[in-house]
Every structure is written in C-alpha cells, then in structure tokens.
Amino acid sequence: MTTRIPRYFTIQGGSGTLDDRSGGTPSGTNAPSTDSRPTGPRREDRIVGSSQISRDLIQSAMTAARSDLPVLIMGAPGADKMGVARAIHTWGHHASRSLENLSCVSIPEALQGREIFGCAEGVYPAVPGVYSGALERVSDGTLVLERSEGLTPSARASLARAVAEGSYQKEGSSTSSPLRARLVATIDSGSDASLFGSTPHHTIRIASISERSEDIMPLATHYLHAFSSELGIQPVGFTADARACLVLEPWTGDVLELRERIKQAVRLTGHGAISAEALMLATDSDDVPSFKDAKRAFETRYVTGLLRRCGGNISRAARLAKKDRKDFYDVIRRTGINPSDFRSGRGGRK
C-alpha cells in the first residue's frame, strides 16, 4: 500500500516565494554545502511541512534572508537547525557566496578566538605567519556558528563587539577589518541566547516535531524520495502500520532521528514499501522480543537489504558494511541467508 503525499510547504529556489503544492515530488532549493563551496540543488535542504508552525517558520526564515542582520536559530537537539541556516543563506543575496559551518563545540576553548577572528604572526608558535580566521575566509558569504552555546565568555564578548561595531581584529593585531560576513548562529533550546547582545538581530525558534505532528508524514515522504533517489530506487511508499507508527512515535531525537530512520529503512528495504519493522518502530500489538531475537532479526534484515542491493556479491556487501569479508560471511551463515538467491538469473527474493 502506498502513501499519498500530503500537502507540504517549501520555498522554491532563491525566488523567496512561498510554494504551496500537493502530490508529486517537492522542488528544491539551491542550497550550498557547509564546505564553503556553492553547490547545485539539494533535495535534503528544503524546509518541508504542512502545519501552520512550518508556514510561520518559512516566513521567519524568508524575513531574515532579506536582511543582513545576524540570525540566532534556536531548537532542540536534532531539530535540523543547520537546514534552516542553509535556507536563509540560499534565499538571501549572499547565496552566490560561500557558506562555512564552524562547529563551536569542536574547537578547543583556547583556540576559539583564532578560528573565528584569525591571528597575527607570532601569536601562536605552532602557526607560522598570519592566520586567516573564519570571518576572513568566508568574506561576504555566510558564516554559521553551529552550537554557539559552546563559545567561551571571551569569544562571545568579542563576537558581540564585532557585530555591534561592524569590524573585528585578529588576535595580536591592532588593525581592524570590516565585518562583511553574514552571521548565523545555532543554539540548543534552554541555552543562553544573548550571543549578539543588544545588537538588532533575528531570532528563529524551531518547534520540535512532537509539537507539529502534521509535519511527520510530509517529512517522511520527503526523505523517502531523497534517499531513494540517491540509491536509484523508485520509491513505493509506506505500509499502513508504518504510517501509524510514524505519527505515534515520540521522536525524542527530533527531525534528524526521523531522517536517519528513513535513510536506514530505504537501504534495508530496497524496492519494497517501507514497513514499521524496517523503521524499527513497534506497534501496540507487538510483543517485546528478547535481545538475542531482536539482534538476530536485525542481522537478517540488514544482510537481506545489503545482498539485495549488491546482487548477492558478498565482497561488495562486506565493503558497504565496513566489515572484513570473512566476518561478514559469518554473519550471513548465522542468518541462514543464501547469497545466491540475490544474484541475477536466480530469480531473487521477493
């Protein structure tokens, strides 16, 4: 049984127009990647939803994209704050410029100033010459400070001062450089939201998926098409039990958990309809299996999906699983699956 694609809302390209559609496959936005290079359309970078909350989110993102003011994006872990940041970059006049993502929690505290602002020669013995920070590298593009709650008070103060004055200084330098970059910061809900101080800025709050259950099936269908396209598979849809479980699942990991569940289910299922089992979601009538039985069931699904995808080629399947061929063959033997059933000319499994 297939799923009829519900109504959803997305922004088309960089035109900044709200596109309300029903059915079919969503059209995409030209969202650059986070490696400072402009890229072509990416299906995964759309803001998708059918709820009023999603409409308000899109309108807030469009408003922020039209200005040069800093943007603070707040949301629960897994709320895909980076997706909204990419959308703001794409819909604004910085779209043709670079987009760089700087994970604040990944930078040692002692080096945060250097990585953001750069440093003059001799400040760090291990760094020969002048070091260009992220603000200089991105120039007049967009710098996304991901998980900005990880910044030290000193780095936060320097950033607030740079935004207020429109200029910044490299560490160890008395020369000011103009702040040309568009600043977007993401922060987990409940963290200190005073990053930009009293300087005017946009604040966008992303509601958790549990607060907008109307968006679950549009998002699930969106990811189904995205990952099926990556694998060259024609998407079939979701079974009735999968649709029911998707809506009832609490999704404690928010949108990114939903995304990863769909991604794995597409890889495991291949050309068939996605079931609740493939999504690793339990129905109310399900008995709780023992750990041993659950592990064996997972191994069977996983091996079946890989061998179907690889046409029964054990070596290729082992490489995709990132396991030694012998170890992977031992897993196959435990499941009782015959790889030859998946090879061309043998009919394959149904």
* Residue 312 burial (10 A CB sphere; 0-12, 13-18, 19+): buried
Confidence (pLDDT) at 289: 59
Confidence (pLDDT) at 182: 94
Reading the block at residue 67, the tokens are 């200005």
Confidence (pLDDT) at 283: 54
Confidence (pLDDT) at 287: 56
For residue 220, CA distances in Å to 96, 224, 230, 261 come to: 30, 6, 15, 9
CA distance 149 to 74: 11
pLDDT band at 291, cuts 50/70/90?
Answer: confident
Confidence (pLDDT) at 206: 95
pLDDT (tens digit per residue) in 73-107 = 999 999 999 999 999 999 998 889 999 999 999 99
Contact yes or no for 117/170 (Cβ under 8 A): yes
Per-residue pLDDT at 143 exceeds 80: yes
- HSE at residue 257, side-chain half, CA atoms within 13 A, is 16
Domain ranges of the chain: 8-207, 210-342
Per-residue pLDDT at 40 exceeds 80: no
Confidence (pLDDT) at 114: 93
Mean of pLDDT over the chain: 82
- HSE at residue 348, side-chain half, CA atoms within 13 A, is 14
Residues 332-345, mean pLDDT to the nearest whole number: 82
Among left, alpha and beta (phi > 0; psi -120 to 50; other), residue 95 is alpha
Residues 100-127, mean pLDDT to the nearest whole number: 91
Say yes or no: domain 8-207 is CATH 3.10.580.10.
no
Confidence (pLDDT) at 47: 86
Percentage of the chain modeled with pLDDT above 90 = 49
Q: Which of 22-26, 35-39, 118-122 has the highest mean pLDDT?
A: 118-122
Residues 300-326, mean pLDDT to the nearest whole number: 87
Confidence (pLDDT) at 45: 53
Residues 220-225, mean pLDDT to the nearest whole number: 93
Give the pTM: 0.70
CA distance 215 to 212: 6
CA distance 321 to 325: 10
Residues 23-27, mean pLDDT to the nearest whole number: 31
Q: Which of 8-17, 33-42, 296-305 has the highest mean pLDDT?
A: 296-305
Residue environment code for 2-17, b if the CB has 16+ CB neighbours within 10 A, otherwise e: ebebbebbbbbebeee
pLDDT (tens digit per residue) in 158-206 = 999 999 999 999 999 999 999 999 999 999 988 888 899 888 999 999 9
CA triple 152-153-156, angle to 5 deg = 85
Q: What's the topology of domain 210-342? A: Helicase, Ruva Protein; domain 3 (1.10.8)
pLDDT band at 7, cuts 50/70/90?
Answer: very low
Reading the block at residue 95, the tokens are 């779209």
CA distance 6 to 4: 6
pLDDT band at 303, cuts 50/70/90?
Answer: confident
Contact yes or no for 299/334 (Cβ under 8 A): yes
For residue 105, CA distances in Å to 34, 36, 111, 112 come to: 16, 19, 11, 9
Residue owning tokens 């994006």 = 73
